[in-house]
């Protein structure tokens, strides 16, 4: 390889000085699909504030607490503490016993919680009409103090409409 | 425009860079599969063959609430024993992939098994696992075993290897750019601008480890205690600047080396202080996609009859285990006298950029040409020293 060719190859990888290339049309699909999918996942993570699948880990650090309740047909509610249906990572993220934190952004929490509410509905006790979750969270703060009253609160329920 | 697009994605090149990437990525994959973790707690390292993600039913979340990725609810849930068999398969495939035997089938095995583990539960999601999955998929479709592999070694000299499309390397380069772009975009918020986020990480225990213990000791000295907050805020600003800069810097030839150096520093810092599994090592490995020169392209002229230069050559060769430098003894190469420097008082390196360097400049060039390989050659160096001693006796 001549010196100028070497220089071109190293210093300017996008140079068009070397031989012309014309691949078959289907070869163009791979890079286009890769760019579209990765960019779509990245934009999705920015919009939903859920950095999973979008490379935005550590953008926000979310501290949160969870409270689960069964609502019964007579209107009363009973607090529920997760059992062994939550294991390992699922337990770490969704236990209601203590304050938790996640690096994946506040948008990931509703996904996990909604999924858990749906899952629990299949194992509902007799007379239960809905499964409720109360999420309190704050962003980018120390966990040495308990979550303050100023924390943002979100409510989740499954099924969405409680039958009479 | 179309010509430039074609040139960018499909130009035909030697696959040496891709094969280097395969070795290093394969090595990182084996780190993952043997539990050889990150630098956060280096004194707690242990290796298992393979390391299992789940050891007992109490931990095994596929039998409880596991939340499949939407669209993949149909995936069957394996029992614990079957899941552990997958770990063995991954380890075997990882070894074959790294040494370059049955490379593409091994890459397929890894891709398929990791896809299963990735999609069967949203709790399996980690950035480093997604990065493994994407890069392994690229490897599964590419000729990544034509150099630096057992298969290539058995096949004979490298000279008859055809050039291939640069597409896999470009895809990795674009992937790295996208990672930094969205990593940077996700950090554009007041907590990162003020640096508060790092203090929150520290308070929450997300920043921890043996290195952090040393830092704590340092900041416990009254003279330096006031600097702690500024230090952690500076880390946030450094991260923002480097991640943003890498998006562009890696593509600019003049800035590439500085970008790679800063990127290495960034990921080294992350790895020392945060639990990110093998993500930093994966990023180190994929940086190889930006180091394009092929083996032997840097020419070193030296005098074999000069004891000092001969010693330098022997020592430098120990580090150059991918033979990126062509060593030319000017005393022996009489037939190519027109290429030789006329008065060679010290070693001369003609780099692939065409510039001639001597003395300290040559040394710096040697180190800077392949910093990753330079670091990675340390373990190999021990083996080479033994080999050299034996051969010299």
B237 touches chain A (CB under 8 A): no
Residue where a domain stops, chosen among B290, B310, B335: B290
CATH number of the domain to which B375 belongs: 3.40.30
Domain co-membership, B132 together with B61? yes
Domain co-membership, A147 together with A70? yes
Asked if pLDDT for residue A76 goes beyond 90, the answer is yes
Looking at residue A132, what is its pLDDT?
96
Q: Which tokens in the block code for residue B24?
A: 């290093």
Interface of A with B in 83-122 (CB under 8 A): 84-91, 93-94, 101, 103, 105, 111-112, 115-116, 119-120
Q: What is the extent of the structural domain holding B22?
A: 2-167
Q: For residue A57, tell me if it sits in a domain.
A: no
Cβ separation A31–B199 shorter than 8 A: no
Percent of chain A scoring above 70 in pLDDT: 84
Looking at residue B325, what is its pLDDT?
82
Chain B closest CA to A141's CA: distance in Å?
5
Interface of B with A in 274-303 (CB under 8 A): 292-293, 297
Q: Which residues of chain B have pLDDT under 50?
A: 335, 384, 386-393
Contact between residue A137 and residue A62 where contact means Cβ atoms under 8 Å apart: yes
Q: For residue A21, tell me if it sits in a domain.
A: yes
Asked if pLDDT for residue A71 goes beyond 60, the answer is yes
B11 touches chain A (CB under 8 A): yes
3-state secondary structure A14-33: CCCCCCCCCCCHHHHHHHHH
Examine residue A159 and say whether the peptide bond preceding it is cis (omega within 30 degrees of 0): yes
Looking at residue B244, what is its pLDDT?
97
Cα angle for residues B166, B171, B172 (degrees, 5° grid): 105
Q: For residue A95, tell me if it sits in a domain.
A: yes
Nearest CB to B191; choose among A60, A101, A142 = A60
A146 touches chain B (CB under 8 A): no
- Select from A74, A66, A69, A42 the least CA-distant residue to A55: A42
Question: How many domains does the structure of chain A reveal?
Answer: 2
Looking at residue A24, what is its pLDDT?
80
Q: Which tokens in the block code for residue B104?
A: 């593409």
Angstrom distances, CA of residue B248 to CA of B65, B91, B178, B255, B262: 42, 36, 11, 9, 13
Looking at residue B351, what is its pLDDT?
76
Looking at residue A134, what is its pLDDT?
96
Domain co-membership, A18 together with A96? no
Please, which residues have CB within 8 angstroms of residue A26's CB and are 6 or more apart in sequence? none
Residue B338 CA to residue B335 CA, distance in Å, equals 8
Question: How many domains does the structure of chain B reveal?
Answer: 3
Chain A closest CA to B102's CA: distance in Å?
23
Looking at residue B373, what is its pLDDT?
58
Domain co-membership, B233 together with B158? no
Domain co-membership, B190 together with B303? no
Domain co-membership, A78 together with A136? yes
Looking at residue A17, what is its pLDDT?
46
Domain co-membership, B277 together with B308? no
Q: How many CB pairs under 8 A join A and B?
A: 179
Asked if pLDDT for residue A78 goes beyond 60, the answer is yes
Query: What pLDDT, in 10s, does the model give residues B119-163?
Result: 999 999 999 999 999 999 999 999 999 888 898 888 876 666 788
Q: Which tokens in the block code for residue A133?
A: 């979750």
Q: For residue B345, tell me if it sits in a domain.
A: yes
Q: Which residue of A has its CA nearest to B296?
A: A1
Chain A closest CA to B109's CA: distance in Å?
20
Domain co-membership, B11 together with B81? yes
Q: For residue A117, tell me if it sits in a domain.
A: yes
Domain co-membership, B285 together with B307? no
Asked if pLDDT for residue A4 goes beyond 50, the answer is no
Report the complex ipTM: 0.86
Q: For residue B14, tell me if it sits in a domain.
A: yes
pTM of the model: 0.85
Domain co-membership, B9 together with B143? yes
Looking at residue A15, what is its pLDDT?
41
Q: Which tokens in the block code for residue B333?
A: 């190469």
Contact between residue B209 and residue B41 where contact means Cβ atoms under 8 Å apart: yes
Q: For residue A163, tell me if it sits in a domain.
A: no
Domain co-membership, B146 together with B242? no
**Residue carrying the six token digits 């039998």:** B63
Pairing of strands B298-302, B325-329: parallel
Cβ separation A55–B178 shorter than 8 A: yes
Domain co-membership, B155 together with B40? yes
Q: What is the extent of the structural domain holding A103?
A: 62-158
Q: How does DSSP assign B91-133, residue by residue?
A: HHHHHHHHHTSSHHHHHHHHHHHHHHHHHH-GGG--HHHHHHH
Q: For residue A87, tell me if it sits in a domain.
A: yes
Looking at residue A25, what is its pLDDT?
83
B123 touches chain A (CB under 8 A): yes
Domain co-membership, B23 together with B145? yes
Domain co-membership, A78 together with A149? yes
Looking at residue B388, what is its pLDDT?
47
What is the maximum span of chain A, computed from C-alpha positions, in angstroms?
86
Domain co-membership, A14 together with A84? no
Residue B182 CA to residue B188 CA, distance in Å, equals 10
Domain co-membership, A24 together with A86? no
Domain co-membership, A41 together with A111? no
Average pLDDT for chain A = 85
- Which of the residue ranges A104-108, A150-154, B253-257, B326-330 would you say has the lowest mean pLDDT? B326-330
Q: For residue B178, tell me if it sits in a domain.
A: no
Nearest CB to A86; choose among B64, B187, B297 = B64
- DSSP H helices, A49-153, are 88-94, 108-121
Looking at residue B294, what is its pLDDT?
61
Q: For residue A37, tell me if it sits in a domain.
A: yes
> Which helix (H) or strand (E) element contains residue B326?
strand B325-329
Q: For residue A54, tell me if it sits in a domain.
A: no
Q: For residue B174, tell me if it sits in a domain.
A: no
A137-156: average pLDDT: 82
Domain co-membership, B280 together with B306? no
Please give the residue that has the higher pLDDT: either B112 or A23. Answer: B112
Domain co-membership, B96 together with B195? no
Cross-strand bridge partners of residue B328:
B301
Asked if pLDDT for residue A6 goes beyond 50, the answer is no
Domain co-membership, A44 together with A67? no
- Which of the residue ranges A38-52, A64-78, B142-156, B296-310 would you say has the lowest mean pLDDT? B296-310
How many helices (H) does chain B have, and how many strands (E)? 17, 6
Domain co-membership, A73 together with A138? yes
Looking at residue B3, what is its pLDDT?
87
Looking at residue B366, what is its pLDDT?
78
């Amino acid at each position: 390889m001549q010196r100028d060719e070497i220089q071109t190859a190293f210093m300017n990888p996008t140079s068009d000085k070397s031989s012309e290339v014309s691949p078959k049309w289907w070869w163009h699909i791979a890079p286009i699909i890769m760019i579209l999918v990765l960019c779509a996942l990245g934009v999705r993570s920015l919009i939903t504030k859920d950095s999973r699948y979008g490379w935005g880990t550590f953008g926000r650090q979310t501290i949160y607490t969870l409270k689960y309740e069964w609502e019964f047909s007579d209107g009363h509610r009973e607090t529920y503490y997760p059992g062994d249906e939550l294991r390992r990572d699922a337990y770490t993220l969704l236990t209601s016993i203590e304050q938790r934190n996640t690096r994946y952004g506040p948008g990931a929490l509703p996904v996990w919680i909604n999924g858990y509410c749906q899952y629990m509905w299949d194992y509902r006790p007799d007379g239960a009409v809905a499964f409720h979750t109360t999420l309190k969270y704050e962003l980018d703060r120390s966990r040495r103090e308990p979550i303050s009253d100023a924390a943002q609160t979100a409510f989740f329920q499954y099924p969405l409409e409680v039958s009479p | 425009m179309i010509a430039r697009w074609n040139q960018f994605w499909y130009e035909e090149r030697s696959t040496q860079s891709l094969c280097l990437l395969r070795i290093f990525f394969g090595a990182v994959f084996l780190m993952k599969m043997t539990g050889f973790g990150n630098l956060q707690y280096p004194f707690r390292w242990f290796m298992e063959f393979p390391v299992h993600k789940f050891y007992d039913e109490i931990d095994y979340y596929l039998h409880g609430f596991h939340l499949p990725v939407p669209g993949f609810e149909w995936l069957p849930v394996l029992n614990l024993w079957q899941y552990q068999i997958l770990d063995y398969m991954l380890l075997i495939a990882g070894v074959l992939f790294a040494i370059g035997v049955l490379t593409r089938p091994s890459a397929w095995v890894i891709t398929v098994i990791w896809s299963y583990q990735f999609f069967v539960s949203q709790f399996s999601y980690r950035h480093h696992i997604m990065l493994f999955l994407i890069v392994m998929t690229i490897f599964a479709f590419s000729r990544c075993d034509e150099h630096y592999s057992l298969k290539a070694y058995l096949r004979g000299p490298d000279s008859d290897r055809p050039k291939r499309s640069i597409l896999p390397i470009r895809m990795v380069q674009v992937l790295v750019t996208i990672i930094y772009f969205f990593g940077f975009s996700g950090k554009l918020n007041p907590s990162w601008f003020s640096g508060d986020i790092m203090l929150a990480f520290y308070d929450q225990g997300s920043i921890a480890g043996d290195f952090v213990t040393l830092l704590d000791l340092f900041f416990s000295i009254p003279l330096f205690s006031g600097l702690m907050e500024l230090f952690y805020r500076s880390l946030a600003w450094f991260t923002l600047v480097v991640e943003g800069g890498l998006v562009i810097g890696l593509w600019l030839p003049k800035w590439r080396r500085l970008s790679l150096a800063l990127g290495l520093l960034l990921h080294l810092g992350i790895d020392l202080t945060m639990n990110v599994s093998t993500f930093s090592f994966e990023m180190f490995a994929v940086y190889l996609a930006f180091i394009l020169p092929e083996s032997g392209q840097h020419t070193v002229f030296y005098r074999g009859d000069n004891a000092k230069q001969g010693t330098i050559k022997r020592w430098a060769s120990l580090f150059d285990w991918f033979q990126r430098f062509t060593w030319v003894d000017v005393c022996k190469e009489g037939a190519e006298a027109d290429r030789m420097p006329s008065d060679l008082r010290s070693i001369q390196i003609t780099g692939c950029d065409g510039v001639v360097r001597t003395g300290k400049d040559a040394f710096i060039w040697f180190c800077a040409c392949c910093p990753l390989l330079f670091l990675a050659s340390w373990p190999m160096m021990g083996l080479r020293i033994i080999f050299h001693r034996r051969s010299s006796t």
